[in-house]
């Protein structure tokens, strides 16, 4: 054994002094992220990225470990939506990567900026298909499912790789980016100084895209001549964080506005021009529709058909950052291409001081329909009966949000989603997070966790019992990080309803039915959170108020009449029908 008292030979000490300081792939990845203001990673540890997570935590980043990569990915995606910075999801190779990929594809579909960073196995073995540990050509798999995909093979390229990923995620139309980091990269060394120089701080990652002056004029001319104008706000409008300008545009023009699901709250649902409660009337009867960050996809019946009234009677103005969005489903009479903040600012400037109010008969018609619908709904929201139906339960929960407009509402399910969207008013931008463009189940706990982490506000997650099952194990994550999340499970013992019967008469239950009297609240209790079972709206209100005020992780098992729901919530019409004699 070396004697520490024995002095080093003078030559050895000189050599040690002269040796350059070294860094490696692990540190360069962390330094590159931090240099670009990224401070949080959502992931699941394992080979080859366990030490990356450890070292990131040691370097002061917040590294949140999940129970399943899909939820880490959903968390990263919604962090991107909330902050306009790419959310980072970190996964292991092949299966972990695939688990995260659903979230990456969903983020891309929804235009949320995120980066899925995945470790991968050795290129030499993967490419010869020699059967490496968790072997998969991940770059090839990811490419068609995201906005951009990159692989870094040399430590010296980490800076550029991370910079490209960030810029691709947030510039233009945001989306998901895949960054493939093979295991060998992490231990590659280079001199610290050269390493630091190789990093790139991305300047102006999402440059403003200014609309053309004539496009703005064309849009305003069309809007000016409208007799029954309508503004539709999409989640792009929420993402843009141009809240004041959008409000000014809506209020200056006096045009009724319809928010898409995640745009609720960009202007409050209680605003006098809010037309959500008269949705079918305004879609059908408007003559000029201005879409702001909303796409004419299935959620708006592709801009045609009976939803939209008389064929060819409608003219569209569309504001979007992606030129290819124009004419995707119907002709766009006035395309305005640019980022939403710049486009809305240009429209406001074009409007100047004065703008004629929309014709009074149109405003009166919209208001009359709105009031009638609100009045029709009101008694259903006030019933205090057991078992609860969706309306009475949601009637209680709408009060929770009204009293806490800064709280974030996460929502998924079928009836649980569609009815909550209509019943719960939102008052502030980016407070409603839900299944988005795909109507995907499984975003719940990932979104709730990131919403709490990124904003510090309390979160209310209203979950169908089926929807909750897709991410339910993450209640442990919620408890582990002691997050202010209250999960309400709408327990109707099934998908859509809990009353279906097996048509064969066999002993298996029907395909849409779950265990009766399931005690979901015990899941939260298992990890130290609070669990409550409620059967009336009054109990529900009390339990949720308490949870939201205490900030303690809570799961409220809300028992809903199993017969109350309808098939597929509001979108039953999308179910294909068999042409053959009906199943008995």
Ligand X SMILES: Cc1ncc(C[n+]2csc(CCOP(=O)(O)OP(=O)(O)O)c2C)c(N)n1
Give contact residues for ligand X (rule: CB under 6 A): 413-416, 439-442, 464-467, 490, 492, 495-496, 565, 569
Given the complex with ligand X, which of 178 and 496 has the nearer CB atom? 496
Residue 177 binds: one of ligand X, Mg ion, none (C-beta under 5 to 8 A by kind): none
> In this structure, what token pair is assigned to residue 368?
């009359």
Instruction: Report H helices in 383-513.
Output: 390-403, 415-423, 444-455, 465-469, 475-480
In the beta sheet, which residues pair with residue 180?
118, 151
Q: Which is nearer to ligand X, 190 or 419 (CB)?
A: 419
Structure tokens at 101: 């990929």
Nearer to ligand X, 418 or 454 (CB): 418
* Shortest distance, position 500 Cβ to ligand X, whole Å: 11
User: Nearest distance from residue 42's CB to ligand X, in Å?
Assistant: 19
Handedness of CA 53, 55, 56, 61 (dihedral sign): positive
Please choose, out of 177-185, 269-277, 290-298, 464-472, the segment that lies near Mg ion by the rule CB under 5 A. Answer: 464-472
- In angstroms, the Cα distances linking 179 to 142, 153, 469, 505 are 9, 11, 29, 51
Q: How far is the CB of 547 from Mg ion (least distance, A)?
A: 21
Of 492 and 557, nearer to ligand X (C-beta) is 492
447/74 Cα distance (integer angstroms): 6
Minimum distance from CB of 57 to ligand X (Å)?
31
What, of Mg ion, ligand X, none, does residue 439 touch, CB below 5 to 8 Å by kind?
ligand X
Question: Which of 270, 325, 330, 268 is CA-nearest to residue 292?
Answer: 325
The distance of closest approach from Cβ of residue 414 to Mg ion in the complex, given in angstroms and rounded to an integer, is 7
State the nearest-atom distance from the C-beta of 448 to ligand X, in Å.
15
Which option in ligand X, Mg ion, none does residue 441 bind, with CB closer than 5 to 8 A by kind?
ligand X
Of 39 and 570, nearer to ligand X (C-beta) is 570
> Does position 465 bind Mg ion by CB under 5 A?
yes
Neighbour tally for 60: CB within 10 Å: 9
Output the six-digit token pair for 73. 């990915």
Which residues make beta-bridge pairs with 531? 555
Site string for Mg ion, 543-562 (x = CB under 5 A): --------------------
Burial of 375 (0-12, 13-18, 19+ CB in 10 A): exposed
Alpha carbon distance 29, 187 (integer Å): 11
Binds Mg ion (CB under 5 A): choice among 195, 265, 341, 464: 464
Quote the least distance from Cβ 524 to Mg ion, whole Å.
18
The binder of 259, among ligand X, Mg ion, none, by C-beta within 5 to 8 A per type, is none
Nearest to 121 by CA among 135, 111, 108: 135
- Read off the DSSP letter of residue 59: T
By beta carbon distance, the residue nearest ligand X is: 464
The single-letter DSSP state of residue 545 is: H
Closest CB to Mg ion among 126 and 540? 540
Q: Which is nearer to ligand X, 303 or 569 (CB)?
A: 569
CA separation for the pair 518, 63 (Å, rounded): 33
What is the enclosing helix (H) or strand (E) of 148?
strand 148-151
Residue closer to ligand X, measured from CB, 339 or 434: 434
- Output the six-digit token pair for 363: 């405003």
Q: List the one residue from 91, 286, 428, 492 that touches Mg ion (CB under 5 A).
A: 492
Handedness of CA 448, 452, 455, 459 (dihedral sign): positive
Closest approach, Cβ 95 to ligand X, in A, equals 18
The interface partner of residue 537, options being ligand X, Mg ion, none and the CB cut-off 5 to 8 Å by kind, is none
125 or 386: CB nearest Mg ion: 386
Q: Which residues bind Mg ion (CB under 5 A)?
A: 464-465, 492
């Amino acid at each position: 054994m070396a004697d520490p008292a024995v002095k080093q030979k003078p030559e050895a000490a000189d050599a040690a002094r002269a040796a350059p300081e070294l860094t490696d792939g692990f540190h360069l990845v962390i330094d590159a992220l931090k240099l670009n203001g990224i401070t949080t990673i959502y992931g699941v540890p394992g080979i080859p990225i366990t030490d990356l997570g450890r070292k990131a935590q040691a370097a002061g980043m917040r590294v949140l470990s999940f129970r399943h990569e899909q939820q880490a990915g959903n968390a990263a995606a919604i962090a991107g939506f909330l902050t306009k910075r790419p959310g980072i999801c970190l996964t292991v190779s092949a299966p972990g990567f695939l688990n995260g990929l659903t979230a990456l594809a969903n983020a891309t579909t929804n235009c949320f900026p995120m980066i899925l960073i995945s470790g991968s196995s050795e290129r030499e073995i993967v490419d010869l298909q020699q059967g490496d540990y968790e072997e998969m050509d991940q770059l090839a798999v990811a490419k068609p499912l995201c906005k951009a995909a990159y692989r870094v093979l040399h430590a010296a390229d980490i800076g550029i790789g991370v910079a490209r990923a960030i810029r691709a995620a947030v510039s233009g139309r945001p989306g998901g980016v895949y960054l493939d980091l093979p295991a060998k990269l992490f231990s590659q060394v280079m001199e610290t100084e050269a390493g630091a120089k190789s990093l790139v701080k991305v300047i102006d990652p999402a440059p403003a895209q200014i609309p053309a002056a004539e496009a703005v004029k064309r849009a305003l001319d069309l809007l000016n001549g409208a007799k029954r104008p309508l503004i539709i706000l999409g989640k792009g409008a929420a993402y843009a964080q141009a809240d004041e300008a959008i409000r000014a545009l809506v209020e200056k023009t006096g045009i009724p506005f319809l928010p898409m699901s995640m745009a609720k709250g960009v202007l409050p649902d209680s605003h006098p021009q809010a037309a959500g409660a008269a949705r079918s009337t305004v879609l059908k009867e408007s003559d000029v529709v201005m879409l702001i960050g909303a796409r004419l996809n299935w959620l708006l019946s592709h801009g045609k058909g009976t939803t939209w009234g008389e064929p060819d009677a409608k003219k569209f103005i569309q504001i979007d950052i992606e030129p290819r969005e124009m004419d995707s489903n119907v002709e766009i009479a006035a395309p305005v291409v640019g980022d939403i903040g710049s486009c809305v600012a240009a429209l406001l400037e074009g409007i100047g001081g004065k703008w004629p109010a929309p014709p009074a008969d149109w405003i009166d018609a919209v208001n009359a329909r709105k009031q009638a619908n609100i009045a029709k709904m009101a008694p259903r929201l006030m019933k205090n009966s057991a078992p609860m139906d969706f309306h009475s339960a949601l009637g209680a929960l709408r009060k929770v949000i009204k009293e806490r407009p800064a709280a974030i509402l996460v929502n998924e399910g079928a009836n649980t989603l569609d009815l909550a969207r209509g019943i719960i008013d939102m008052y502030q931008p980016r407070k409603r997070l839900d299944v988005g463009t795909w109507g995907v189940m499984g975003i719940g706990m990932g979104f709730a966790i990131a919403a709490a982490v990124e904003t510090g506000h309390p979160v209310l997650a209203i979950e169908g019992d089926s929807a909750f099952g897709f991410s339910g194990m993450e209640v442990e994550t919620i408890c582990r990080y002691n997050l202010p999340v209250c999960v309400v499970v709408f327990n109707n013992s099934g998908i859509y309803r809990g009353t279906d019967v097996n048509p064969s008469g066999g002993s298996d239950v029907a395909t849409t039915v779950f265990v009766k009297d399931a005690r979901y609240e015990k899941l939260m209790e298992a990890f130290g959170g609070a669990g409550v079972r409620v059967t009336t709206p009054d109990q529900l209100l009390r339990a949720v108020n308490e949870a939201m005020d205490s900030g303690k992780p809570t799961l409220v098992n809300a028992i809903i009449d199993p017969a109350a729901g309808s098939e597929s919530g509001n979108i039953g019409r999308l179910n294909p029908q068999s042409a053959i004699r009906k199943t008995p």
